[in-house]
Amino acid sequence: MLMKAMSLSNASSVHNNPLTLVEKPVQKLGEYEVRIKIHVCGVCRTDLHIVEGDLPFPKLPIIPGHQIVGTIDAIGNKVTNFNTGDRVGVPWMSSTCGECPFCSSQHENLCDSAQFTGLHIDGGYAEFTVVPQQFVYPLPEDFPDEQIAPLLCAGIIGYRTLKQSRFQPGQRIGLYGFGASAHVTIQVAKHFGCDVYVFTRSTDHQKHAEELGATWIGTAEEDPGANMDASLVFAPVGWLMVEALKRTRKGGAVVSAGIHMTDIPEFPYRHLYGERTLTSASNATYEDGTELLTLAVEIPIKTDVKIYSLQDVNIALQDLKGSQFKGAAVLRVRRI
């Protein structure tokens, strides 16, 4: 069976339209794998880093995309968790070894043998994908495809970043950058009674933060008039980690959500002193996704999305790079 896909052969600026439409056979189904007919796929900032070469390539060409919503249309003979016809979601994590100390302690997000959707294996910028069942999620019925796609990475990593900060309900939380992850994370933080302070230079994103109930909104250089209990840095800009640390109370935490970030500049030790923590969130566990999807129904979370066709993914990535939309971009995949 043949499928259409947007494939990357060489890393390049998204303004060079590096993804091209190809027709190729659908991958053969392994015994522990499921084949998914893709409905939609979110466009993630990690995809931007992949396409532009900020991350090393295990293989080329590659079909990016890892916020996949679709229907299982075939299963391997040893698949036990799913049936054909199930609507499912596919996140960034694809598989782990299942045996190392990280996997054995429910920290499989740190597994040295981890593989990732749209990086090690072909992802969701296509009509079909074949993936291991290990990290596939059954999806709640209450969410349309386009609404749930951004939760599968932007939402999950935002949630893990919030957890990594060791926040408590009712605290002050700072968000640096206000794109797909942050616009979900603010809804989770407010659900737990937190006051959310948003630091972003984009006037459109500032307005979006106001619509979602931010307590204070300004740029990273502005004084919010209070120290944060925890700050989450979503923008891939190293100096923001230092700015956030300056505004963090003793015992508080600054957490980077990014898989890629520019270098963190040298800073005075006094900004860290006082048992402040500077750390990162790396990928996410399966449990993180399960918890986030449960909260999405409970809150309920509403994602703001801009829809693009599969063939327009280069435009979607250009718009993402230029902060040309609020919330998240989602590709609507139809048989071409």
Q: Which residues pair with 87 in a beta bridge?
A: 71
Q: Are residues 220 and 261 in the same domain?
A: yes
**Average pLDDT rounded to a whole number, residues 93-106:** 97
Position 36 scores a pLDDT of 98
Q: With cut-offs at 50, 70 and 90, classify the pLDDT of residue 334.
A: confident
Q: Please provide residue 328's backbone torsions phi and psi, each rounded to the nearest 5 degrees.
A: -130, 155
For the domain that residue 62 is a member of, what is the CATH number?
3.90.180.10
Specify if 299 maps to a domain.
Answer: no
**Average pLDDT rounded to a whole number, residues 167-184:** 98
Question: E-strand spans in 11-123?
Answer: 19-25, 33-43, 67-75, 87-90, 93-95, 115-116
**Average pLDDT rounded to a whole number, residues 141-150:** 94
Q: Is 66's pLDDT higher than 70?
A: yes
Question: Which stretch of DSSP H or E encloses residue 64?
Answer: none
Task: Return mean pLDDT, the chain.
Answer: 97
Q: Are residues 117 and 204 in the same domain?
A: no
Q: Is 336's pLDDT higher than 60?
A: no
For the domain that residue 197 is a member of, what is the CATH number?
3.40.50.720
Closest by Cα among 205, 155, 207 to 176: 205
Of the residues 265, 280, 295, which one is the last residue of a structural domain? 280
250-235-108 Cα angle (round to 5)? 80
Specify if 290 maps to a domain.
Answer: no
Q: Are residues 189 and 147 in the same domain?
A: no
Euclidean distance between CA atoms 141 and 123, whole angstroms: 23
For the chain, the maximum distance between any two Cα atoms, rounded to a whole number of angstroms, is 61
pLDDT in tens, 305-333: 999 999 999 999 999 999 999 999 999 99
| Single-letter residue type at 303 | T
| Other Cβ atoms within 10 Å of 199 Cβ, number | 30
Contact of 128 with 335, CB cutoff 8 Å: no
Domain that holds residue 221: 155-280
Question: 65: which residues sit within 8 A by CB, 6+ positions away?
Answer: 41, 42, 43, 47, 117, 118, 123, 124, 125, 126, 331
Q: Which residues pair with 90 in a beta bridge?
A: 68
The runs of H, that is alpha helices, within 199-324 are 203-211, 239-246, 286-298, 313-321
Q: Are residues 147 and 169 in the same domain?
A: no
Q: Are residues 266 and 318 in the same domain?
A: no
Specify if 287 maps to a domain.
Answer: no
Position 73 scores a pLDDT of 96
Position 316 scores a pLDDT of 98
Count of domains for the chain: 2
Position 142 scores a pLDDT of 82
Specify if 15 maps to a domain.
Answer: yes
Contact of 128 with 227, CB cutoff 8 Å: no
pLDDT in tens, 32-64: 999 999 999 999 999 999 999 999 999 999 999
Percent above pLDDT 90 for the chain: 98
**Average pLDDT rounded to a whole number, residues 235-251:** 97
Position 307 scores a pLDDT of 97
Q: Is 191's pLDDT higher than 90?
A: yes
The pTM for the full model equals: 0.95
Q: Are residues 167 and 229 in the same domain?
A: yes
Q: Is 335's pLDDT higher than 60?
A: no
